[in-house]
């Protein structure tokens, strides 16, 4: 922060008053921002260069009509320093969320999105869905139980299978059986959903097309996950 203040003061009161063109102005601020940006990409002290690149623009406060008011500069600097200090202090005063709470929150969000997916409220592509759940898997606390990790992976598989089934619903004429099964998934009724999926699998079993075989694989994926993790999928509506 101190380095940003010194650099902003030098540019504002020693360099810019002697410049008139936009190109010269760009070169002046580039003398600070370009090295700072390059330093951020290096393994040596990236935090220092990040702070310089972050605080330099608001401290300099460039405008079409520059005003060289030292009192205003000091006030802005004190405000930024004070705000940064309060923010840093808040991280010390407010306790972080426990790993157990964060894990439950991630599972609840994923279950909520899965139910919305089952009702057709969000029609993502498999890549969108996988990216969303993979992101939550990546931030899952190390303290999360193996069962909780497997529940998140099961939700990932079920969501991908639902997307594939919806894609093939019209070509395969899956009818209301699929809709009723997905409605049961959205309600958190694994027993009904599994029963409907069993009927759907029986209907697909008499067909010999490759599309029907892929649909049966998706049906099996959903049924297997609902059976193994019924407590998770039947949990109350997450907030």
pLDDT tens, 217-237? Answer: 999 999 999 999 999 999 854
Distance CA 126, CA 147 (A): 24
pLDDT reported for residue 155:
94
Q: Report which of residues 122 and 15 the model is more confident about.
A: 15
Phi, psi of 70, rounded to the nearest 5 degrees: -65, -35
Is 60 exceeded by the pLDDT of residue 238?
Answer: no
Query: Which of 55-59, 108-112, 122-126, 192-196 has the lowest average pLDDT?
Result: 122-126
Q: Report which of residues 220 and 177 the model is more confident about.
A: 220
Is 80 exceeded by the pLDDT of residue 180?
Answer: yes
Distance CA 90, CA 29 (A): 32
Distance CA 55, CA 196 (A): 59
Tell me if the pTM is above 0.85: no
pLDDT tens, 112-162? Answer: 999 999 988 776 788 899 999 999 999 999 999 999 999 999 999 999 999
pLDDT reported for residue 113:
93
Dig out the tokens for 144 from the structure.
């999360």
Question: For 2-21, what is the mean pLDDT?
Answer: 82
Dig out the tokens for 187 from the structure.
């309600």
């Amino acid at each position: 922060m101190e380095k940003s203040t010194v650099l902003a003061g030098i540019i504002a009161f020693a360099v810019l008053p002697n410049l008139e063109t936009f190109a010269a102005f760009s070169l002046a601020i580039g003398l600070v921002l370009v090295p700072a940006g390059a330093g951020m990409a290096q393994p040596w002290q990236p935090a220092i260069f990040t702070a310089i690149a972050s605080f330099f623009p608001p401290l300099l406060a460039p405008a079409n009509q520059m005003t060289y008011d030292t009192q205003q500069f000091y006030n802005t600097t004190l405000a930024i320093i004070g705000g940064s200090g309060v923010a840093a202090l808040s991280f010390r005063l407010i306790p972080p969320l426990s790993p157990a709470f964060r894990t439950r929150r991630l599972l609840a969000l994923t279950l909520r999105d899965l139910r919305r997916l089952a009702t057709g409220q969000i029609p993502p592509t498999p890549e969108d869905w996988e990216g969303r759940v993979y992101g939550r898997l990546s931030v899952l606390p190390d303290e999360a139980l193996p069962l909780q990790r497997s529940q998140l992976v099961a939700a990932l598989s079920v969501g991908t299978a639902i997307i594939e089934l919806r894609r093939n619903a019209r070509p395969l004429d899956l009818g209301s059986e699929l809709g009723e099964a997905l409605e049961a998934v959205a309600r958190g009724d694994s027993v009904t959903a599994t029963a409907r999926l069993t009927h759907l699998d029986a209907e697909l079993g008499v067909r010999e097309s490759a599309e029907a075989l892929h649909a049966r694989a998706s049906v099996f994926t959903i049924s297997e996950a609902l059976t193994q993790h019924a407590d998770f999928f039947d949990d109350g509506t997450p907030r």
